[in-house]
Amino acid sequence: MTTYDEIFENNRKWIETHNATGPEFLARLAGDQRPDYLYIGCSDSRVTAEELMGVAPGEVFVHRNIANLVNNIDLNAMSVIEYAVQHLGVKHIVVCGHYGCGGVKAAMQAQDLGIMNPWLRNIRDVYRLHHQELDAIEDTTARYDRLVELNVQEQCVNVIKTAVVQQRYLQHGYPTVHGWVFDLKTGLLKDLKLSFEDILHGIQQIYNLGDKSMFDTKETPAQEIGSKAVAE
């Protein structure tokens, strides 16, 4: 394990290494950030965004919490999404879970976990939404792995529900939202290949927060009723 003092020595070595490759590194680092990616991941110490993505400092904006949740009343997560989309102009938003997630496993235990109860209830809600599929999986490990994937999927839906994502996409054609899972055993990232546009289109009738439809100009049932009333 790295000692406390070693961390600062490692920091000095990190500076020396980057200065050796080019003195402009720190100047670029001190400049404005313009990352193309917002990464929303788990706080697990084994899953670090920049390292598993192979990107340099300044290339990804990162938000992490237990079990990579996107809760609409979590001002931290909502502020990160607002800032990344509206002010940094990210092109991609990634929600990344990982197999063997302790938060997902804890959510499925029948025990009182204190202050963690309301947070983990979000994962239990994911189980409730997909319980028929999950209960049909006999192998416990496979069931947990599938819940990890479904949790990522539902958090992506929560991102797509936000006004700033919908409105920015309507105006500029980005950001798009992606769901990934990191496999600790193989080190590989798995793209769940969620269809951003299909999800967005599917939730529009209820969660549309843009000024108009993002896909067509067909009136909603409520608009059709209003139009008939005006005509009459």
Q: Is 96 a catalytic residue?
A: no
Which of 136, 191, 146, 175 is CA-nearest to residue 35?
175
Q: Please, which residues have CB within 8 angstroms of residue 171's CB and are 6 or more apart in sequence?
A: none
Going from the C-alpha of 17 to that of each of 3, 23, 35, 123, 140, the distances in angstroms are 21, 10, 23, 42, 46
Catalytic site residue from 63, 96, 101, 145: 101
Q: Is 98 a catalytic residue?
A: yes
DSSP 97-153: EETT-HHHHHHTSSS--GGGHHHHHHHHHHHHHTHHHHHT--SHHHHHHHHHHHHHH
Q: Is 139 a catalytic residue?
A: no
- The amino acid occupying position 90 is V
Catalytic site residue from 28, 32, 34, 46: 46
Catalytic site residue from 44, 96, 156, 178: 44
Catalytic site residue from 63, 98, 168, 178: 98
Q: Is 44 a catalytic residue?
A: yes
Catalytic site residue from 5, 12, 18, 42: 42
Q: Is 156 a catalytic residue?
A: no
Q: What is the side-by-side strand order in the sheet with 37-42? A: 60-65, 37-42, 92-98, 176-182, 189-191
Catalytic positions are: 42, 44, 46, 98, 101
